[in-house]
Amino acid sequence: MLSCKVSDDIKLAVPRPKIDGPKLFNLLDGQREYFEYYLPWLKLTKVANDEVEFLQMTNRHMGTNDSLNLIIWYQNEIAGMISFNQFDHLRASADIGYWLGKKFQGRGITTRAVQCFANLGFEDYGLNRVIIQAAVDNEASNAVAKRAGFILEGTLRQNELLDDGFHDENLYSLLKEDL
C-alpha cells in the first residue's frame, strides 16, 4: 500500500478501490444520518460499488494532478478520508476536505492528518497556500482548522449548500511561510 506515515498510529494511503471501497462504504453507510448533513454527496453513494467507482475516479484524478484523495488509517483500520479537492496550479493552492468516522473522533486524528497533508502539499506538490472551508455551524471542522494552525481569513456568505439551504462558510488558510 502506497502510504505516508503521520504517526505510529495514523497513516494516509492511496485508495485501493476494490479493496478499500466496500470498507469505506460500510463506514459511511453505518453513520449515514450523521454524515449526510455536511456530506451531501453521500446521498449519491447508495451501494458499495458507488464508492469503488468514486475511488477509481479519484485515483485517475491523482494521475492527472487534478486532485488527491487519501484514506486516513488509524491503527490499521480505515477511519476516514482526506483530500485536496482541486489543485489551483496557477495560484499554487488547494483546498482540503476531510471526514472521519464517529468512533475515531476526539483523538486528534484529523488535526494531525490535516497537518501532515498540508506539509505534503507544500513539499511534494509545490503549493504555497492550503485552504479549509467549513460551514460556520460545523464546530468540529472549524476546530480542526484552528488546531492545525490555519488562520481564519473571513466568512463567505451563503457559500455552502446543505440539505436545509445555503450556509455561511469560514475560510481558513495556511501558507508555506507559516511553517
Closest CA to 144 of 167, 179, 118, 178: 118
3-178 CATH fold: Aminopeptidase (3.40.630)
Please tell me the distance from the alpha carbon of residue 128 to that of residue 92, in angstroms, as a whole number.
5
* 61-69: average pLDDT: 96
In eight-state DSSP terms, residue 47 is: S
**What residues does each domain of the chain span?**
3-178
Per-residue pLDDT at 32: 94
Supply the pTM of this predicted model.
0.95
pLDDT single digits (tens) 71-109: 999 999 999 999 999 999 999 999 999 999 999 999 999
* 108-135: average pLDDT: 97
Per-residue pLDDT at 1: 53
pLDDT single digits (tens) 1-31: 567 899 999 999 999 999 999 999 999 999 9
DSSP-assigned states of every residue in 110-156: HHHHHHHHHHHHHHHS--SEEEEEEETT-HHHHHHHHHTTPEEEEEE
Question: Residue 179: which pLDDT band, with cuts at 50, 70 and 90?
Answer: confident
Provide the CB-side half-sphere exposure for 12 (13 A, CA): 24
Please say if the pLDDT value at position 170 is more than 70. yes
Please say if the pLDDT value at position 126 is more than 70. yes
On average, the pLDDT of the chain sits at 96
Question: Residue 115: which pLDDT band, with cuts at 50, 70 and 90?
Answer: very high
Please say if the pLDDT value at position 161 is more than 60. yes
Determine what percent of the chain is predicted with pLDDT higher than 70. 99
Determine what percent of the chain is predicted with pLDDT higher than 90. 94
